[in-house]
Structure 1
């Protein structure tokens, strides 16, 4: 490439270069800005030519108007750093346009973006950079206080963005150094293997050990560069501490999942305290990852993370009485003898009983140990006959579930009186029964901020529906027999089969040429011709499959607006009336329900499959539905559509019955799940599946129209309104 001296002497380019300098000098931006452009301009020209330098001059003027002198003076430095990565004039110019737009939208935060542009582009391409900036600007509009942290790549959403964009196996780059490190610290060198792709997500996110080996996550979400190296070292050092100080496995017995978690936190703290006594430098390795803080909602996961910090960080103070009790008990034991492993069982048992008395919800399947470097704790427990002893890494138990035992009175343990754990009888089994909530599928989720799907982002787990007496449903069907009759007439009138050509008609849309020829022949033979010489197209048969998808989230436990009945009760009766009507007409249909507890646990309940009859058992399952959790609608729609797509019917209808706007506890952006559901509906429609929403409540226009379209949703507050609202559905099917 030519030197910048050659470029600067190249006729008109030389004139434009001088003109750019003059504009900046005369604009009064100050010596800091002018000298930065004068110094960095030739360097930029050496890398990508003079055109980006001239474009930089215009960008400097724009920045000087929008921001301050310091931010403007940083722009030339950033441009040179970016050029060294992109190395194309057009790419550098596009980068300048992106940061100019950012300066217009977020003048106070763009300085952070400039300082980190090279770091960002070192991890993603220019398209990814543009998506990252768009996401940061959108977050800044909702949460201005988070914008700088986002552009620094410190905000959780920024970390999640890079996790999705990179999809990198960071363990692969570090595995060559981890075994020597573990040998140097603890004198052991067990085999290590990355977690298999089909393992449960919580196990892929944490280190695990057992059977003489160590299972490593492909990456730790939110940690990169030097932090990634440090957390992998912290993780294997922690496993080494267990190897030295956890001398025997703890028997599971009849312990409940939250008791296992509390005892594991105490044992983690015990082995780390002993390790730090022997190797004080480990404290500096582990402590930075303990970032839990006091306050927030009383969630079991948060309390356990705060307890973990309280037991390793002497300067940490927490006002919660349960955490202070744990610290006091642990310190008393530490003053006496930490080498006794049974103290973890004793202290953990006491704290676990207290946690149970507090009635704080603990999601055993979704629980992920905090802080991130600690292992998943499966390796310190003896699950009895649940699994054969593991020898190879691939034989390590993929997940263990403590089955809730029932007392003679039929009450589950968590409703019975607290008893001594050692006197109870427990049972452990592998979680492989689909009816108990097995992971059956993963689906993408659309992120409207970056306009991309997050691949395999949400996990669907199918659960068995408990059966309860269906007397109320049977009585409701009898009480509303008149509604069923109206619905039957309406559905019967809808021609939902393929169009057929009817020939030799007295009137019609087109001429039937065969009939015309026959009529002409008859006329010439002096035989009275048949004047039915038209043909037309009609739907004369029925060929329809329907899947009714019910929202059973926590909000369905509330009363329908303007009435006294619960939303779920209205859903049950409405569904029962539709089901009995459709079954009477012979159409194929299925019933399902859903709710969610974060993206890792979208729960799907099969009430009736297409091949099953609509009978008493189906009604008992319908009666067995309970309200709970959240509404991740887009994922449920995608999963239901998979069932429908396997039906060979000419028309397929997904009828969604819901009462509230999509939401979940791991999403704080009100628009995020609405946009995902809208994209899910669009993708389902492209597969030839019709979608329609019956919204139970007055909020429907705010979200249902956005998701399903104005003609794809209707609002119902009483079952008596169904006959007047559902014609829109069947009109759509006969278009």
Structure 2
């Protein structure tokens, strides 16, 4: 045995494990990995044995050997120290065995990622628990179709996706786990349900640290630094409640005109206080919720940003006292204006302007680039200002504040301009199809069934202009199978998908109308003949339903259906035309769109007919002009189509997908990946009260359809004549 081994007795090992420990570190020493690796293992082994157990300390030798062989000596020398860091966070043998197994797997599948993974162990274990660390490693291993450089960047935390994952799970109460509950909370308070997005990682720091809104959606930080657990949950609730108050009480946007950044910030501050005062009148609990996050104190240097935080607290907390004359003046002006007419939004403009002039007279500096709204639940206020997008006179400081907060145009790979808007979320924001060459781009997450997590902003859905029929197909669709249209119309009318309505003044019914009963008793005691129509019942009297028909236009739809001379696309066009003609006769609101994909960054969504538009010759021409091309990335387009349906106020909303095959795309090898993402999208839509149903036009895809939509959420259609037989079952399930 070498002198080195003799000098390092295994003090952390019980007697029965000492021989195994000597064998383990002797094997490392004699393997030729170098003294750096051997010394690191000898130093860490006893502490790991005491902390986790001797079995783990001995087992770590295998991990060191794997890493040394596949990733080099430098990486191997970092394994023992990384194990110590992980053991201080991950409690127990099971968690540490999982950590070591993840390291082994990384060495086998992505040796280029082992060194950066070990170098970042401190950051990772500080932000992630043991299951989160395993999920992080798995996501890195499945990234970029095995591209070594992108995997290395992921483990080095140079990838935006890796950073989002770490920031989104750092501590308790991150946005990822609270998003659904925040939507319910916002709906309960203000009766609105805008999509909630995570702030993009490439946005300016101010936008990543504070909430924001615009374009029909909310933007929230992935996590609030320094807040965790219940406090983080309350902070997120305070944020969405504040934005909801803007939605209710900030009626119009303030024009920027010639205002300076300081004045914009102060007008926004006063407006924040005004809308919170109005909201607290009907919901006093909101005042207590917001007040807990005002922590400014009446001491410290009198710099502009600190004084603004103190004024914010003074306007929100009547018990707060501040000796500074500027803060006292701001409070006095606000209280006087609020007593006179707090509903007048212009008081914010007037008071903010006055206070801004005072700051200028005091020669206090204001750095718009570094300014972050206080307290942290308040949004960045970009959503309440009307910034002229083409105004070259806007100061550079304001342009910095605006970066990423409004629609911008960029050139896509196909040379066309694309538009993206801040505030879009995993639900995104749907806009009407354009007649010019622009395509609207919206980012959506995608569910990774391997890691059990969503990949934020992973897919880009691009709205494409519809092609016009050039082969005379529309004329055939306009007249085809009128007999089936009549049958479908009758079936749809008979379904009565609507809200129940209370019908009063009945001689018999399900319950008594209290008002009518009182009137009858008064008439009887007055000696008059009482009206005996004192009952009520519920009836379904009018239709109240919206349907979006989503058509698969991937390349596989150009193949012929089994046992038929027609292609799948021809069957899709015909069945959609028949349903559209029938729903037009009934009067149901409906829309039609088609989709295909060419990788996650080019998911195409082609509008055929929008809600509120007639199914006219133009819509029929676009339906007839559909051509089959590319692949079938289903989950992203379902989320995109869901936004159209969310905007409908109907009693029932249905997304009907007409497709021929399993989800697939050129950048995905795992056959289960897109199917599981599509199934997750179905659950998301169901939670929002949207029914999802699939009509499958080829039996080969039935197994995937059952997996995605469930046995009651799909039917297989092999002949157009079977459509009237299948439709009643769908409407019957919706009524249930």
TM normalised by structure 2 equals: 0.53
1:24 paired residue among 20, 23, 29:
20
Deviation at residue 436 of structure 1 after TM alignment: 2.5
Within the alignment, does 1:99 sit opposite 2:99 as a pair?
yes
Counterpart of 1:537? 538
Within the alignment, does 1:676 sit opposite 2:677 as a pair?
yes
Counterpart of 2:500? 499
Counterpart of 2:634? 633
Counterpart of 2:694? 693
Q: Assess if the C-alpha contact under 8 Å between 1:79 and 1:92 holds in 2.
A: no
**Aligned mates of 2:501, 2:409 — CA distance in 1:** 58
Deviation at residue 54 of structure 1 after TM alignment: 4.2
**Aligned mates of 1:161, 1:585 — CA distance in 2:** 55
Counterpart of 2:118? 118
Alignment of 1:569-584 (within 5 A): 569-584=570-585
The alignment partner of 1:442 has SS state of strand
Deviation at residue 686 of structure 1 after TM alignment: 2.1
Counterpart of 2:709? 708
Counterpart of 1:131? 135
Q: Are the structure 2 counterparts of residues 629 and 666 from structure 1 closer, same or farther at C-alpha, using a change threshold of 3 Å?
A: same
**Aligned mates of 2:82, 2:706 — CA distance in 1:** 44
Alignment of 1:8-47 (within 5 A): 17-19=13-15, 21-22=17-18, 24=20, 31-32=26-27, 43-44=43-44
Q: Assess if the C-alpha contact under 8 Å between 1:554 and 1:628 holds in 2.
A: yes
**Aligned mates of 1:130, 1:403 — CA distance in 2:** 40
Q: Are the structure 2 counterparts of residues 402 and 80 from structure 1 closer, same or farther at C-alpha, using a change threshold of 3 Å?
A: closer
The alignment partner of 1:594 has SS state of strand
Within the alignment, does 1:57 sit opposite 2:54 as a pair?
yes
Within the alignment, does 1:164 sit opposite 2:161 as a pair?
yes
**Aligned mates of 2:157, 2:51 — CA distance in 1:** 36
Unaligned runs of 5+ in 1: 1-7, 169-194, 199-391, 405-431
Counterpart of 2:650? 649
Q: Are the structure 2 counterparts of residues 159 and 723 from structure 1 closer, same or farther at C-alpha, using a change threshold of 3 Å?
A: farther
Query: CA-to-partner distance for each residue in 1:26-85, whole Å, 9 max, x for gaps?
Result: 9x7684379999976884489xxx576341422245668x98987899999655321565
**Aligned mates of 2:152, 2:412 — CA distance in 1:** 33
Q: Assess if the C-alpha contact under 8 Å between 1:85 and 1:118 holds in 2.
A: no
Counterpart of 1:667? 668
Deviates more, 1:153-162 or 1:86-95: 153-162
Deviation at residue 446 of structure 1 after TM alignment: 2.0
Deviation at residue 448 of structure 1 after TM alignment: 2.1
Query: CA-to-partner distance for each residue in 1:621-666, whole Å, 9 max, x for gaps?
Result: 1111111111111111122122222222222211111111111112
Q: Assess if the C-alpha contact under 8 Å between 2:591 and 2:609 holds in 1.
A: yes
Counterpart of 1:335? none
Q: Are the structure 2 counterparts of residues 667 and 41 from structure 1 closer, same or farther at C-alpha, using a change threshold of 3 Å?
A: closer
Query: CA-to-partner distance for each residue in 1:149-199, whole Å, 9 max, x for gaps?
Result: 97x98579979994411269xxxxxxxxxxxxxxxxxxxxxxxxxx9979x
Deviation at residue 700 of structure 1 after TM alignment: 3.4
Deviation at residue 584 of structure 1 after TM alignment: 0.8
Counterpart of 1:88? 88
Query: CA-to-partner distance for each residue in 1:531-558, whole Å, 9 max, x for gaps?
Result: 7665433322211111111111101100
Q: Are the structure 2 counterparts of residues 632 and 90 from structure 1 closer, same or farther at C-alpha, using a change threshold of 3 Å?
A: closer
Q: Are the structure 2 counterparts of residues 129 and 400 from structure 1 closer, same or farther at C-alpha, using a change threshold of 3 Å?
A: closer
**Aligned mates of 1:565, 1:82 — CA distance in 2:** 62
**Aligned mates of 1:548, 1:97 — CA distance in 2:** 49
**Aligned mates of 1:600, 1:38 — CA distance in 2:** 47
**Aligned mates of 2:158, 2:567 — CA distance in 1:** 40
Query: CA-to-partner distance for each residue in 1:215-245, whole Å, 9 max, x for gaps?
Result: xxxxxxxxxxxxxxxxxxxxxxxxxxxxxxx
The alignment partner of 1:490 has SS state of helix
Within the alignment, does 1:620 sit opposite 2:621 as a pair?
yes
Deviates more, 1:438-447 or 1:565-574: 438-447
The alignment partner of 1:701 has SS state of helix
Q: Are the structure 2 counterparts of residues 57 and 538 from structure 1 closer, same or farther at C-alpha, using a change threshold of 3 Å?
A: farther
Q: Assess if the C-alpha contact under 8 Å between 1:511 and 1:534 holds in 2.
A: yes
Q: Are the structure 2 counterparts of residues 22 and 71 from structure 1 closer, same or farther at C-alpha, using a change threshold of 3 Å?
A: farther
**Aligned mates of 2:625, 2:485 — CA distance in 1:** 23
Within the alignment, does 1:585 sit opposite 2:592 as a pair?
no
The alignment partner of 1:654 has SS state of strand
Q: Assess if the C-alpha contact under 8 Å between 2:698 and 2:717 holds in 1.
A: yes
Query: CA-to-partner distance for each residue in 1:309-340, whole Å, 9 max, x for gaps?
Result: xxxxxxxxxxxxxxxxxxxxxxxxxxxxxxxx
Q: Are the structure 2 counterparts of residues 467 and 397 from structure 1 closer, same or farther at C-alpha, using a change threshold of 3 Å?
A: closer
**Aligned mates of 1:607, 1:646 — CA distance in 2:** 18
RMSD, aligned CA: 5.0
Counterpart of 2:604? 603
Q: Assess if the C-alpha contact under 8 Å between 1:596 and 1:632 holds in 2.
A: yes
Q: Assess if the C-alpha contact under 8 Å between 1:102 and 1:110 holds in 2.
A: no
Deviation at residue 530 of structure 1 after TM alignment: 6.7
Alignment of 1:553-568 (within 5 A): 553-568=554-569
Q: Assess if the C-alpha contact under 8 Å between 2:99 and 2:134 holds in 1.
A: no
Q: Assess if the C-alpha contact under 8 Å between 1:594 and 1:603 holds in 2.
A: yes
Q: Assess if the C-alpha contact under 8 Å between 1:658 and 1:696 holds in 2.
A: yes
Within the alignment, does 1:458 sit opposite 2:452 as a pair?
no
Query: CA-to-partner distance for each residue in 1:88-143, whole Å, 9 max, x for gaps?
Result: 3546967613235558989977999877651352664445532133347889xxx9
**Aligned mates of 1:565, 1:729 — CA distance in 2:** 25
The alignment partner of 2:712 has SS state of helix
Query: CA-to-partner distance for each residue in 1:373-400, whole Å, 9 max, x for gaps?
Result: xxxxxxxxxxxxxxxxxxx999x99549
Deviation at residue 519 of structure 1 after TM alignment: 6.4
Counterpart of 1:184? none
Total equivalences in the alignment: 467
Query: CA-to-partner distance for each residue in 1:660-715, whole Å, 9 max, x for gaps?
Result: 11111122222222122222222222222221111111033321122222211111
**Aligned mates of 2:530, 2:585 — CA distance in 1:** 44
**Aligned mates of 2:87, 2:56 — CA distance in 1:** 19
The alignment partner of 1:486 has SS state of helix
**Aligned mates of 1:197, 1:583 — CA distance in 2:** 45
The alignment partner of 1:630 has SS state of coil
TM normalised by structure 1 equals: 0.53
Deviation at residue 478 of structure 1 after TM alignment: 3.7
Q: Are the structure 2 counterparts of residues 29 and 485 from structure 1 closer, same or farther at C-alpha, using a change threshold of 3 Å?
A: same
Query: CA-to-partner distance for each residue in 1:357-383, whole Å, 9 max, x for gaps?
Result: xxxxxxxxxxxxxxxxxxxxxxxxxxx
Counterpart of 1:307? none
Alignment of 1:90-489 (within 5 A): 90=90, 96-102=96-102, 117-121=117-121, 124=124, 125-127=127-129, 129-135=133-139, 162-166=159-163, 398-399=410-411, 435-468=436-469, 471-476=472-477, 478-489=479-490
Q: Assess if the C-alpha contact under 8 Å between 1:83 and 1:92 holds in 2.
A: no
